[in-house]
Each structure stands twice: as C-alpha cells, then as structure tokens.
Homo-oligomer: A and B are copies of this chain.
Amino acid sequence: MEFLVRMKVAFPGEMPESDRAELRKREAERASELASVGVLVRLWRVPGESANWGIWAAADATALHESLTSLPMFPYISAKVYPLARHPNDPLPGEPADGAATSGS
C-alpha cells in the first residue's frame, strides 16, 4: 500500500550546526536504505520550508510507522500521513503492494 507523507522538520534552536549536519548525514543513509527496499518511493522538498513530501510504500500503517520512526531525524519531525488507494488511470501499472523492493521502473 502507498502513502503520501508530509514531514516538517524543526531542530531545537540551540542544536549546534555540527549535530544537525551529522543528523542529515545519517538521515540520508537511512533514506537510501529505505529506498533500496522500496519503502521510500519518492521524496521532494517543499520549497521555502524545512519540510518534505514523500511517497512511501508499506504493508500497512503499522509498518509505515516503524519505517518513519526509524529515521534519525524522527524526534524533530512532525509528519502527516495520507493513505493512497490505487487509481485506474495511474500510469504505474500494479503498484508494489507492500513496499517490497522493485526495480523502481
């Protein structure tokens, strides 16, 4: 099943830049892992904001929650999850059911 997720990131004001940079690095690594198994499908920045829109795939909301909370930046993230149902006019035939890794084509 696929989900649309909007995440807003807010680091505490007093967090030093070095810690932020380290977190972003670990976040990128984790995102890459999640992408490699088809859980993170697409990710965009919201222009002008410390926020992003993403397409995620997971067996269900419980599995999605586990993936999201595995992100190093999760403690500083407020996320809003929108469930997605398949649309007959979707250009992508037979979307991956549960985030199993696919060729991404």
Contact = CB atoms under 8 A, between A and B. Distances in A.
Contacts of A5: 48
Contacts of A82: 46, 53
A60 B1 contact: yes
A103 B104 contact: no
Contacts of A81: 46-49, 83
By CB atoms of chain B within 10 A, which of A5, A40, A90 has the most? A90
Given A60-B1, A64-B85, A105-B104, A49 B79 contact: yes
B41 A85 contact: no
A87 B6 CA distance: 13
Interface string A54-85: 01000111101100100000000111111111
Interface of A: 1-5, 7, 12-13, 27-28, 31-32, 35, 40-49, 52-53, 55, 59-62, 64-65, 68, 77-92, 97, 103-105
5 contacts: A1-B61, A4-B4, A4-B44, A47-B61, A65-B85
